[in-house]
């Protein structure tokens, strides 16, 4: 049946993260890498039919926030992610080193 305490804690963490995202969004638009920064003409692109769960750092104006997101695309340099807060879905490109694969989606957890 699961641990009700951990379920409640996860719910509160999600609510807290959503508040943080929406508050950060008041400080400016979501920043995304440019085509030039990602070198789109030279770098191959991978599209994930089954997005991977990740934690990523994003910026709204000058405000940095760590979010639970889905990795939907990647290149050798960057990661295309999406995440939700409230009724809004946000999408952006971030540097690859700003993203960490969720433990449940990591190769070690599939053994």
Its pTM stands at: 0.80
Which residues contact residue 94 at a Cβ distance below 8 angstroms, ignoring those fewer than 6 apart? 32, 33, 56, 57, 58, 78, 79, 81
Q: Give the structural domain span for 81.
A: 4-110
Q: Answer yes or no: are the C-beta atoms of 54 and 72 closer than 8 Å.
A: no
**What total of structural domains would you count in the chain?**
1
Q: Are 82 and 72 in contact (CB under 8 A)?
A: yes
- Residue 84 phi, psi (nearest 5): -120, 150
Render each residue's pLDDT in the chain as its tens digit; 111 residues: 456 666 766 667 788 899 999 999 999 999 999 999 999 899 999 999 999 999 999 999 999 999 999 999 999 999 999 999 989 999 999 999 999 998 766 555 544
């Amino acid at each position: 049946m699961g641990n009700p305490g951990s379920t409640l804690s996860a719910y509160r963490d999600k609510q807290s993260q959503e508040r943080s995202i929406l508050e950060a969004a008041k400080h400016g638009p979501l920043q995304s890498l440019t085509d030039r920064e990602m070198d789109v003409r030279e770098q191959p692109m991978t599209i994930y039919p089954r997005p991977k769960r990740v934690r990523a750092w994003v910026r709204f104006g000058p405000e940095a926030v760590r979010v639970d997101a889905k990795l939907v695309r990647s290149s050798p340099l960057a990661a295309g992610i999406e995440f939700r807060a409230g009724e809004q879905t946000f999408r952006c490109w971030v540097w690859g080193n700003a993203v960490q694969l969720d433990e449940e989606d990591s190769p070690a957890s599939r053994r």
